[in-house]
């Protein structure tokens, strides 16, 4: 199975752990660290809605907390009509830790898949080099 499909399958499993009592919209993600290690994430909501954390950021932060400082790719899955679209906040956070040509694998439960790049996801991103 291609790595894209394997990542989406793992992201689907991570999605099962989502804490989403408010939106009831579970999302799963897998961030692939620079050494190839996989880090899972799901969305985690809060009764103070704005404090909710998306699946993508949970996955990235899980990697960062182990000392990982960059990645190769990420896969995200949700029950959307087409491949899920990461939110703006996650695009910004991802751009800090993924190279511009990193593959971004977006899927849904019906098996639709879109493979794009970090640069396509957030063209002209503000980054560390701007500081
Ligand atoms: O790419 C996305 C889009 C949305 N969400 C979460 C945020 C919130 O918990 C719920 C509804 O927006 O889905 C993610 O985790 N990732």
Mean pLDDT for 88-100 is: 98
Q: Domains in the chain, ordered, with CATH?
A: 3-121 (3.40.140.10)
For the Cβ of 58 lying below 6 angstroms from any atom of ligand 1, the answer is: no
For the Cβ of 11 lying below 6 angstroms from any atom of ligand 1, the answer is: no
pLDDT digits (tens, 9 = 90+) for 17-44: 999 999 999 999 999 999 999 999 999 9
Q: Is 53 annotated as a binding residue?
A: no
> Cα–Cα distance between 117 and 57 in angstroms, integer?
17
> Cα–Cα distance between 35 and 30 in angstroms, integer?
14
For the Cβ of 52 lying below 6 angstroms from any atom of ligand 1, the answer is: yes
56 flagged as catalytic: yes
Task: Give me 87's structure tokens.
Answer: 């939110």
Report which protein residue has its CA nearest ligand 1's atom 14: 54
1 pLDDT higher than 80:
no
Q: Is 42 annotated as a binding residue?
A: no
13 pLDDT higher than 90:
yes
Calculate the CA 115 to chain-centre distance.
13
Q: Is 46 annotated as a binding residue?
A: yes
Model-level pTM? 0.98
The backbone torsions φ and ψ at residue 72, rounded to the nearest 5 degrees and listed phi first, read: -105, -40
> Cα–Cα distance between 100 and 15 in angstroms, integer?
26
How far apart are the CA of 82 and the centre of ligand 1, in A? 15
pLDDT digits (tens, 9 = 90+) for 43-93: 999 999 999 999 999 999 999 999 999 999 999 999 999 999 999 999 999
């Amino acid at each position: 199975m291609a790595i894209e499909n394997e990542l989406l399958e793992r992201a689907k499993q991570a999605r099962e752990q989502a804490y989403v009592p408010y939106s009831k919209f579970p999302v799963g993600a897998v961030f692939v660290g620079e050494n190839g290690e996989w880090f899972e994430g799901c969305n985690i909501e809060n009764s103070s809605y704005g404090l909710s954390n998306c699946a993508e950021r949970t996955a990235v932060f899980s990697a960062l907390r182990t000392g990982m400082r960059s990645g190769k790719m990420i896969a995200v899955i949700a029950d959307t009509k087409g491949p899920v679209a990461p939110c703006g906040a996650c695009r910004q956070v991802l751009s800090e830790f993924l190279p511009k040509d990193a593959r971004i694998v977006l899927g849904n439960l019906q098996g639709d898949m879109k493979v794009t790049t970090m640069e396509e996801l957030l063209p002209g991103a503000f980054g560390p080099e701007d500081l």
